[in-house]
Amino acid sequence: MAQWWWEGRELRILVLASLSAQYFLVLFAGVRKFHIPPWLRVSFRLAHIGSDALAIFTLATLFSRQKNGPSCSYARGSHSLELLWAPIVLMHLGGQVVITTYKIEDNEQWSRHILTSLSKVVVALYVFYKSWSSNDKSLLAATILLFFMVIIRCFQKALDLKSSSFNALRKASSSGISIIRGTYVTEKRRLDKFIKKARKVVHRDGPRGSPADLPRLPYQLFLDFPCLYSDRVGILNFWLLDPKSAYQAIERALSAMTSFLYTKDDTVKPYLGSKEASATAVFRRCTQILAYATLIVAICLVQTSSQKKDYNSEDTWVTLVLLWGTFVLELVYLGVQTAFRDRFSGRVLQHSLIGLLAHNRRHSRLRTIAGWLQCKDFLDDCWHMKPIYSCEEITELVRQHVESLWKHCILDNETYSWHNDTRGEWTLTSKRCLGELGWSIRRPFDESIILWHLATDLCFQAIDLMFHGEVTSPDDRECARRCREMSNYMMHLLFDNPEMLMPGSRKSLFTRAYQELEDMLRYEEEARLNEDQITLLVFERCHRGITGDALRLAESLLVDAYHGDATRMWKVIQGVWVEMLCFSAGRCRGYLHAETLGTGVEYLSYVWVLLAHAGMETFPEKLQREGLSVEGDDRV
């Protein structure tokens, strides 16, 4: 009985499940930009991978039933209706507008998708030709119309993948790049001219603009192409925006790139200046209108046919649900696309060395079992602190820092290059403590990150534990919180995404520092030590290695707090972290920024876009800086 029931309804369940999977993808596509529970992100990934597999399995089941013909008791009276389901399921294989791909690498496989789409459509048409036996002309017309639309939509997905690929982006960007030849002297003059214009814009007082008035960020940045200074002058109007609008402009730039790479949203692709991209957008609009018209006509034809012919009532109901559901699906994306455009979660991911140690000591038994199973490292990778949502506040700190540089520090080529290369030198120099603390930032960058991360935690805990907060004001506590958030974020990059922190960053340094702390607590009987208790033990016992250097740095910083000037201490720490953020963002490849947009933007991308808008040196400009050029060098 159960087998008979399943055989009679298997295909109906499969086609409705395929439609449901498409709704899930459309409704939850936009939340990829936000911090969502891991189970939901995994579900979305599985739905994206499984939707095509489900559609293919549904087609295979349908074709198998058609092979048996109308002699099957469960197929009698609905043989032709089931054939109409084939083009609808094929349409699901074409994907929806709010998501083209889940990973950026899939865009480069557009030619492979053409071959797979061609094979699926050819097989479907062959089965349709061999199986159609009805004299119902209305149903035949509806099926042919749907097949015609599906053929276009399946190949449209391949075109969407091609237009969103990095090769297409390079081609579109290359068409707008001019070749400027000149000597080293003329290049310096161009930079001098750019610096003067930038300083003039920063000092300008006038009416504030809006993010919509700002020219779009050159897409060459994501390709690590150097932009001509003349092309970057228009973006300097970023300095005419108020802080809120400046933050919105950054989100707008990141959202535009996300739409270009991961969706079929054609509202941003014409801005590439590519005729091919514009033609693709026009083609997509035409196919969208065609889809609406075809589905409406097909619904009318099926309604008419079902009234004249004696079709199975359940199959008629499923057919209408599929047609109406697909039609509504074509409309739903408009609201979803508008709702999530230019919006991100504003999350800043966090990771803490001492926090990880405290967590692992609280779960020592679990780690012992993980050690037996050789998966301790995997367990550490799975532990994450809760993200914080201070993205706008930290971005404003960076914006104020860069604005101060343009107003008071950047005067010519030399100062421009120097301030683009600092990672704490300017703060320590301006606070007159370079002699005491300069050694900590002359280390390799990844080592400096660990030193300042541990020192920030030690200072934060020391103020509360040793002084009970009496020497800190509310402003100091706010500054301390921001310092710790930036510190934990940079540690997150070193632990989870070292390539973005800086090329060549060593995650092994994190492991080494963790091992030093673990060795320090090896003979500590109390297993459930919290972060405060571990901090006190670091002050007492750490005198060697990275942790010993971090303790020495923290003690030097705490000198100001001992003398009642905690404000100065936190300003020094804050300034160093802001410079390190800028230093890291300016040395991260554009491809890595683009890669993270599909699973939730990294906060470093905000800083990267801000620096580009603010007129600071970009990564390709650093690589092609002509400080060592000889007479006659050319720049493209």
| pLDDT tens, residue by residue, 271-293 | 444 555 566 667 777 777 888 88
pLDDT band for 590, please (50, 70, 90 cuts): confident
71 pLDDT tier (thresholds 50, 70, 90): very low
What pLDDT digit, counting tens, does each position of 174-218 carry? 554 444 455 545 667 888 888 888 898 888 776 666 666 666 666
CB 202 within 8 A of CB 239: yes
> Residue range 481-506: average pLDDT?
92
The whole-angstrom separation of Cα 341 and Cα 259 is 8
Residue predicted with more confidence, 568 or 313: 568
Which range, 146-160, 341-355, 554-568, is most confident?
554-568
List CB contacts of 489: < 8 A, sequence separation 6 or more: 348, 349, 350, 351, 603
Residue type, 29: A
Checking if the pLDDT of 236 tops 90, the result is: no
pLDDT at 455: 93
Sequence-distant (6+) residues with CB within 8 A of 223 are 166, 169, 170, 173, 590, 591
Q: What is the secondary structure of 340-371 as a DSSP string?
A: HTT-----B----HHHHHHHHHHTHHHHHHHH
Which residue is associated with the tokens 């054609």? 266
Interatomic CA distance for residues 51 and 30, integer angstroms = 17
DSSP 3-state of 522: coil
Cα–Cα distance, 391 to 285 (Å, whole number): 36
Percent of the chain surpassing pLDDT 90: 18
What is residue 423's predicted lDDT score, i.e. its pLDDT?
93
pLDDT band at 12 (very low <50, low <70, confident <90, very high): confident
Query: What pLDDT sits at residue 527?
Result: 59
Query: What is the band of 599 on the pLDDT scale with cuts at 50, 70, 90?
Result: confident
Render 459-513 in DSSP notation, one character per residue: HHHHHHHHHTTTT--HHHHHHHHHHHHHHHHHHHHHHH-HHHH-TT--THHHHHH
CA-based nearest residue to 385, from 529, 492, 494: 492
- Distance from C-alpha of 147 to C-alpha of 550, rounded to nearest angstrom: 68
Give the integer Cα–Cα distance in Å for 80 and 78.
Answer: 6
Residue with tokens 């290369």: 421
The tokens for 292 are: 């609406």
Rounded distance between C-alpha atoms, residue 549 and residue 545, angstroms? 6
| CA–CA gap between residue 33 and residue 143 (Å, rounded) | 38
- Amino acid, res. 468: H
| Cα dihedral value 32, 34, 35, 36, nearest 10 | -50
All residues at 6 or more sequence positions from 599 whose CB lies less than 8 Å from its CB, including other chains: 32, 41
Binned at pLDDT 50, 70 and 90, residue 579 comes out as: very high
Q: What is the pLDDT of residue 483?
A: 96
| Residue 422 pLDDT greater than 90, yes or no | yes
How much is the pLDDT for 362?
74
- Tokens for 174? 């290359």
CB-based contact 388:347 (threshold 8 Å): yes
Contact 507, 495 (CB under 8 A): yes
Question: Greater confidence, 166 or 497?
Answer: 497
580-604 mean pLDDT: 88
* Confidence at residue 468, expressed as pLDDT on a 0 to 100 scale: 62
Separation of alpha carbons 29 and 539, rounded Å: 48
User: C-alpha dihedral over 473, 477, 483, 488, to 10 degrees?
Assistant: 160
pLDDT of 526 reads: 61
- pLDDT band at residue 484 under the 50/70/90 scheme: very high
Task: Report the candidate in 608, 595, 508, 493 with the shortest Cα–Cα distance to residue 262.
Answer: 595
Nearest to 420 by CA among 589, 578, 607, 616: 616
Identify residue 482 by its one-letter amino acid code: R
Closest CA to 399 of 252, 258, 241: 241
Distance between CA atoms of residues 607 and 396, nearest Å? 10
Average pLDDT, the chain: 78
Q: Residues 371-393: what's their mean pLDDT?
A: 74
> Is 111's pLDDT higher than 60?
yes
Residue 74 has pLDDT above 50, yes or no: no
More confident residue, 599 or 413: 413
Nearest to 109 by CA among 55, 164, 72, 56: 164
Average pLDDT over residues 81-101: 72
Q: Contact at 8 Å (CB) between 613 and 235?
A: yes
Per the CB < 8 A criterion, the answer to whether 58 and 14 are in contact is: yes
For 143-176, give one letter per residue: b (16+ CB within 10 A) or e: bebbbebbbebbbbbbbbbbbbbbebbeebbeeb
Instruction: Give the global pTM.
Output: 0.82
pLDDT per residue as tens digits for the range 240-268: 888 898 998 898 888 888 877 777 665 55
The answer to whether the CB of 283 falls within 8 A of the CB of 275 is no
Give the 3-state secondary structure of residue 135.
coil
The predicted pLDDT at position 632 comes to 37
Element (H, E) at 635: strand 634-635
Q: Residue 621 in contact with residue 599, Cβ under 8 Å? A: no
**Are 387 and 545 within 8 A, CB to CB?**
no
pLDDT, position 636: 32
Q: Which residues contact 241 (CB under 8 A, 6 or more apart)?
A: 208, 209, 210, 211, 214, 249
**What per-residue confidence (pLDDT) applies to 49?**
76
Q: What is the pLDDT at residue 188?
A: 77
| Distance between CA atoms of residues 416 and 54, nearest Å | 56
Residue 370 pLDDT > 70, yes or no? no
Number of C-beta neighbours around residue 580 at 10 A: 24
The C-alpha atoms of residue 368 and residue 36 are separated, in whole angstroms, by: 30
Least confident of 75-89, 133-147, 166-180, 407-421: 166-180
Q: Which residues pair with 96 in a beta bridge?
A: 99
Share of the chain above pLDDT 70, in %: 76
Residue 450: what pLDDT?
95
| Distance (Å, whole) CA 25 – CA 264 | 14
Q: Which helix (H) or strand (E) holds 89?
A: helix 79-93
Q: What is the pLDDT of residues 132-168, one digit of tens each?
A: 766 777 888 888 888 888 888 777 777 777 777 777 7
Q: Hey, which of 139-148, 299-308, 400-409, 589-598 has the most confident mean pLDDT?
A: 400-409
Tell me the chain's radius of gyration from C-alpha atoms.
30
Which burial class, exposed, middle or buried, applies to 603 when counting CB atoms under 10 A from its CB (0-12, 13-18, 19+)?
buried
* Assigned token pair, 627: 């400080």
Q: What is the mean pLDDT of residues 324-336?
A: 75
* Of 119, 118, 94, 112, the residue nearest 284 (C-alpha): 94
| Cα–Cα distance measured from residue 2 to residue 619, given in angstroms and rounded to the nearest whole number | 64
